[in-house]
Structure 1
Amino acid sequence: MKILVDVMGGDNAPDAAVIGALDAAKSFSDLSVTMIGDEDAIHEAAAKAGRMDELESVGIVHTAEVITMEDPALSIVRVKTESSMAVGLKMLSEGRGDAFISAGNTGALHAGSSLIVRRIRGIQRSAIATVLPFARPVLLIDSGANIEVEPSYLRQFAIMGSIYMSHIFGVENPEVGLLNNGTESTKGTKKLIEAHDLLEADESINFVGNVEGKEVPFGKCDVIVTDGFTGNVFLKLTEGLGSFLLSKLKDCFYENILTKASALLLHGSLKKMKNSFSVSEYGGAPLLGLSKPVIKAHGSSDARAFTMAIRRAADFAETGITVEIAKWIEEDRCRKESMQNVGAASEASEEAEELGKSAEKKSVLSSETEMAGN
């Protein structure tokens, strides 16, 4: 399994990505890791960590250009076509890797993935699927790729999210909720109301209805569906709130000697709680709906987060989720065609019946006219 890593993207590039890639190569013997980026910067990062000799265990593909956070999304295919992100996506598309990881510009990664790697045929939009560490793991889809969506996109997000939770977390018949400002079916924008009706009518989706933001942390559902703008705001609020609560707990435990003693007794539990909020433990988030695995690592990823993202990318590639999504799309197309054929046959039957009645009526009128003439 060959994992391609863009080491030039993210807040801590290239150091975090380089060390994370070296750790992954050392820890996971079943994986081959290739770093893509400025070769001098890669060597410098490894030298600072005293790990120059370990560079022999990974592949390096030199690139001189970098997609920055300020670059427009389409710069990846129009201007910076030789950037580390663009080159990595091209390598994945050409079969020179099994999965690609980047912590760089989300818009560029989404655009580049759709235009270079391409979406699964029939998928309208790919979406970022982020696991949230709540009462039970909850998959948030979309968490940042699509600012505006159509109801039909949300239906596909629900299906892709369900397949992901089933294959990665072993959740049987995942429950799906639609993020909204109320639980009633009439709540939300016109598009959300239409999306609710679509999800409710689809028997292949275990839809539990609209879900308010306050319900998500308590395990209301396994998959929460929303547009990328709302999803990203929800995600950032969740991350910020988690950090805030941990900070307040720390302040409480440092008030006096007794509280400090309590902190020592609860050290293990508090550390476990802190880790549950850490992006490092969950690694990256896949862009579901693409023909090949692309993983978006968090912009603030440290070395540990990159290592976990590399492991997650390999697991994602091995599960065959992409094949399962493509299979569902084909089955869905066949179902729609079957329904259209049934509808067309029904309309044809009704039309034939009407024509028959019309012909019969004309025949009767003709007979009556002839009799009147006689």
Structure 2
Amino acid sequence: MKIAVDAMGGDYAPQSVVAGVERARDEFKDVEFLLFGNQAQLTELIKDKERLTIIPTTELITMNDEPVKAIRKKKDSSLVRAAQAVKDGAADALFSCGNTGALLAAGLFIIGRIRGVARPGLLSTLPIISGQEGVFNLLDSGANADGKPEHLYQYALLGKYYAESVRGIDNPRIGLLNNGTEPHKGSKLTVAAHQLISADPSLNFVGNVEARDMANGSCDVIVADGFTGNAALKSMEGTAKGIMTMLKDAIMTSGVKGKLGALLLKPSLMKLKQRMDQSTYGGAVLLGAKAPVVKAHGASDARTVYYTVKQIRAMVAGQMIPKFTAYLATQQSREDS
């Protein structure tokens, strides 16, 4: 398989991107990389050119660029050229740590969406923190601020196929993010979405989930509109960082006894830190596009890039996009008949 990489996107690009890609290349012998970006910079950074191809570009989309305008005007940017390679069939997936809005625009306007998908959504992977190890997926986590009930229903279908194809979960549990667990609770959007999702027997729908219970392990996939999902995601990220900072401050100000206790607890504390580290869970996926489009955080280091490539490899190898496209085609033919 071939992955098109926007090598210039991100706060620490291209250094972190190249380092992460080379680590992934060394481990996954079935993956090739097309690196789009400044040829001189990339050539200097690459240690081994095996299964790495540099595609020179002359423009860069920055974090401050207006997404749609940048996609239309900067045709020779590393992001646009990488997206075009996927559209043309030269690569199987698109990866970037750059401008999120621009990546979403490239996924929609260049690569295109699967026929039958009204609004592709952004799927994030988050850790379960209720005593059991594992992760869950949140969809939509920020691609669409506004949504309709049918969009949330499609997110349930998309989330199911991601959980099955990439995470290997049979009959994944689907929850709907809401302000109460009762079916009649919530806005007009969530009440109508609840009815649509619960009416589909192919979905293992467990009902509404409150924000405080998102990470308790009760669901494999949680569905939300993009505004609500993004707010919940940012709240979880901020809380996690805050807890780790408070814990560190408490240890450093607790005197000799506290520091000795922390030393004894170091293995457990490191394990906790690893569980809270989102870099190991890969990037956010634009589900509903015709090919895997994956966004890692702008501040991603080489380790995050490696894990995101690992995630993309699983998506391509699991044939998630073809499977879901075939499923939607079958559903459409049934409705037409």
Same fold (TM over 0.5): yes
Q: Determine which of 182, 185, 189 is the counterpart of 2:183.
A: 185
Cross-structure match for 1:201: 199
Quote the residue 2:27 is aligned against.
Answer: 27
Q: CA deviation at 1:337?
A: 3.0
Work out the CA distance in 2 between the residues paired with 1:181 and 1:335: 35
Q: Given the alignment, which residue of 237, 241, 244 partners 1:243?
A: 241
Over residues 63-98 of structure 1, what are the superposed CA-to-partner deviations in whole Å (9 max), with x where a residue is unaligned? 111112222221244211221111001001111112
Q: CA deviation at 1:57?
A: 5.2
Conservation of the 8 A alpha-carbon contact between 1:35 and 1:60: yes
The root-mean-square deviation of aligned C-alpha atoms, in Å, is: 1.6
Query: Distance in 2 between the 1:76 and 1:318 partners?
Result: 32
Aligned to 2:114: 120
**Number of the residue aligned with 1:41:** 41
Cα pair 1:100 1:293 within 8 Å, conserved: yes
- What is residue 7 of structure 2 aligned with on the other side? 7
Distance in structure 1 (CA, Å) of the matches to 2:165 and 2:51: 31
Whichever residue aligns with residue 114 of structure 2, its letter is: I
1:300 to 2:299 alignment: yes
Matched-pair contact (CA < 8 Å) for 1:279–1:301: no
Show the 5 A alignment for 1:81-120.
81-120=75-114
In the alignment, the residues of structure 1 paired with residue 70 and residue 149 of structure 2 have an alpha-carbon distance, to the nearest angstrom, of 28
Query: Where does residue 173 of structure 1 map in the other structure?
Result: 171
What is the TM-score normalised by the length of structure 1?
A: 0.84
The aligned residue for residue 328 of structure 2 is 329
Contact 2:84/2:111 (<8 A) preserved: yes
User: Structure 1: which 4+ aligned runs deviate by more than 3 Å?
Assistant: none
Whether 2:296 is the aligned partner of 1:273: answer no
TM-score by length of 2: 0.93
User: Is the contact between residue 131 and residue 137 of structure 1 (CA under 8 Å) also seen in structure 2?
Assistant: yes
Is the 2:117–2:154 contact (alpha carbons within 8 Å) kept by the matching residues of 1? yes
Whether the 8 Å CA contact 1:21–1:35 is kept in 2: the answer is no
- The structure-2 alpha-carbon separation of the partners of 1:267 and 1:72, relative to structure 1 and needing over 3 Å to count, comes to same
Unaligned runs of 5+ in 2: none
- Equivalents in 2 of 1:176, 1:129: separation in Å? 13
* One of 213, 216, 219 as aligned partner of 1:215: 213
**Mapped contact 1:106–1:145 kept (Cα < 8 A):** no
Q: Structure 1: how far apart are the matches of 2:287 and 2:180?
A: 27
Query: What per-residue deviation string (whole Å, max 9, x for no partner) do you get for residues 325-354 of structure 1?
Result: 11221222133234xxxxxxxxxxxxxxxx
- SS of match in other structure, 1:11: coil
CA distance in 2, matches of 1:168, 1:65: 34
Equivalent position of 2:283 in the other structure: 284
1:285-323 Cα distance to aligned partner (Å, 9 max, x none): 221111111111122211110111112111111101111
CA drift of 1:131 comes to 1.0
2:311 corresponds to which letter in structure 1? R
Contact 2:31-2:51 within 8 A present in 1 as well: no
> In 1, are the aligned partners of 2:121 and 2:288 still within 8 Å (CA)?
yes
AA of the residue aligned to 1:23 = R
CA distance in 2, matches of 1:77, 1:68: 11
**Alpha-carbon deviations, 1:100-159, whole Å to 9, x = none?**
101111221112111111111111111111111114311100112111111111101001
Which protein has the bigger helix share? 1
The structure with the largest alpha-carbon Rg is 1
Q: Larger RCO: Structure 1 or Structure 2 (Cα < 8 Å, ≥ 6 residues apart)?
A: 2
1: distance between equivalents of 2:237 and 2:287? Answer: 22
Q: Aligned pairs, how many?
A: 332
Determine the C-alpha separation between the residues in 2 that align with 1:233 and 1:103.
21
